[in-house]
Structure 1
Amino acid sequence: MPLFKLGSVVATPAALKFCETQKINPLLLLGRHIAGDYGDLSIEDVEANVHAVQHDLRIFSSYQFGSEKIWIITEADRSSTCLLMPDEY
């Protein structure tokens, strides 16, 4: 059951290339994100996401693959969700 709306889903070329080279299905990452599995975050960041879901704030996920991470950010107004690499933020 989704916890929030994703809005328009976009991804940077670098994020898509990373998923392709690592054989990661970005739809599975989006499924984890929308279900409340925010990946490799501190307890404080997970709690901030729980609060964000309840109060329409930005939601952030980070998924670690080896030494690399990919991020997913859903905007506070739920208009869009972006997959990106940390160095693109």
Structure 2
Amino acid sequence: MDTLFVINAVFKTGQIVATRGVYDLTCQNPDFAKFVQKSLNRHVKGDWGEVDVEDKQTNDQALKQGTRLLSAYNDDRFPKNGVATIWIITEADRSATTILFPDEY
């Protein structure tokens, strides 16, 4: 997996890490790696993906209050155990951002 990077982030990401499941699939599938990179770029710009309205509002507040951020991104080309979703979570203290499958939480 190539190094993930962010451009014009609206908050600090801290160290960017991926779970073993996400990491392994990015190594095996270049298209999935591109999807992860695009999703990360959306996350750091405040585009929370496919979360509901309440979660979007919670994230918008979290930007101001310094609490945890959670985004969800779907791509039906990459089902894993029937799920085509990744989550991206940035910790409240902005020390780390983790990319994971929901079942790895």
- For normalisation by structure 2, the TM-score amounts to 0.77
Identity %: 39
Q: Find the counterpart in structure 2 of residue 72 from structure 1.
A: 88
1:28, 1:64 → 2: CA distance? 11
Deviation at 1:22, TM superposition (A): 7.0
Structure 1: segments with no counterpart, 5+ residues: none
Structure 2: segments with no counterpart, 5+ residues: 1-7, 77-82
Q: Find the counterpart in structure 2 of residue 3 from structure 1.
A: 10
Structure with greater strand share of residues: 1
- After TM superposition, list the pairs within 5 Å mapping 1:33-72 onto structure 2: 33-66=43-76, 67-72=83-88
Across the aligned residues of Structure 1 and Structure 2, the Cα RMSD in angstroms comes to 1.5
- For normalisation by structure 1, the TM-score amounts to 0.90
- Letter in structure 2 aligned against 1:3: V
1:73, 1:31 → 2: CA distance? 13
Give the 3-state SS of the residue equivalent to 1:5 in structure 2.
Answer: coil
Please say which structure displays the higher CA radius of gyration: 2
Size of the aligned set, in residue pairs, is 89
- Letter in structure 1 aligned against 2:84: E
Give the 3-state SS of the residue equivalent to 1:81 in structure 2.
Answer: strand
